[in-house]
């Protein structure tokens, strides 16, 4: 998912952005705690945009691949409840379909690291199928490069890949 340039951020998305910045600044435990509290506020049947985004970022902050997988699966599950109207309230150019390459890429990579090669290849194929939804910008280029790296790692064996 690309950078969330908000038209008018809601309270949870604004707090999520601050938590993500904590993680980017090196405070992974603080970011994880802040996002976990937001997840509890968002609830299982709350706003799908909140659930998808929080779970997506929480996955990246986990210490174990099994925990990362759980959050990546939650993000993908939440995106099925999301529609373009909702994401356009965050940014006019956003579309739900553009989330799919990143969500599936993360699942492909974590499955690869867990040794679930079949599942990894399925998610890599799903991510690749949606690349035309990516924006033609730095984020889109980054995603295409990450897809290539995961594909190469799958083809070469069970090595770790930085995204």
Q: Report the pLDDT averaged over residues 146-160.
A: 85
User: pTM to 2 decimals?
Assistant: 0.85
Q: Over 80: is that where the pLDDT of 87 sits?
A: yes
pLDDT, one tens digit per residue, over 37-55 is 999 988 766 889 899 999 9
Q: Regarding predicted confidence, which is higher, 119 or 6?
A: 119
Which residues have C-beta within 8 Å of that of residue 50, sequence separation ≥ 6? Answer: 12, 13, 16, 38, 42
What percent of the chain stands above pLDDT 70?
Answer: 90
- What pLDDT, on a 0 to 100 scale, did the predictor assign at position 33? 96
Cα 157 to Cα 163: distance, rounded to the nearest angstrom: 17
Give me the pLDDT at residue 44, please.
67
More confident residue, 8 or 100: 100
Query: CA of 73: how far to CAs of 24, 53, 100, 108, 163, in Å?
Result: 22, 12, 12, 11, 18
Checking if the pLDDT of 91 tops 60, the result is: yes
Is pLDDT at 128 greater than 90 in this prediction?
Answer: yes
Is the per-residue pLDDT at 67 higher than 80? yes
Report the alpha-carbon distance of residue 139 to residue 8 in Å, rounded.
22
Please report the pLDDT score of residue 158 as a whole number: 55
Tell me the pLDDT of the chain averaged across its residues: 89
pLDDT bracket for residue 3 (50, 70, 90): very low
């Amino acid at each position: 998912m690309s950078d969330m340039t908000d038209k008018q951020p809601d309270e949870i998305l604004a707090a999520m952005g601050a938590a993500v910045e904590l993680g980017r600044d090196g405070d992974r435990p603080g970011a994880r705690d802040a996002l976990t509290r937001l997840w509890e506020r968002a609830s299982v049947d709350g706003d799908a945009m909140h659930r998808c985004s929080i779970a997506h970022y929480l996955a990246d902050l986990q210490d174990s691949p099994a925990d990362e997988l759980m959050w990546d699966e939650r993000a993908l599950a939440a995106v099925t409840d999301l529609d373009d109207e909702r994401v356009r309230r965050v940014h006019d150019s956003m579309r739900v379909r553009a989330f799919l390459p990143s969500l599936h890429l993360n699942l492909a990579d974590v499955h690869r690291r867990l040794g679930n090669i079949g599942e990894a290849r399925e998610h890599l194929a799903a991510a690749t199928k949606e690349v035309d939804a990516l924006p033609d910008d730095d984020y889109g280029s980054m995603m295409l490069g990450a897809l290539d790296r995961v594909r190469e790692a799958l083809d070469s064996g069970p090595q770790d890949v930085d995204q």
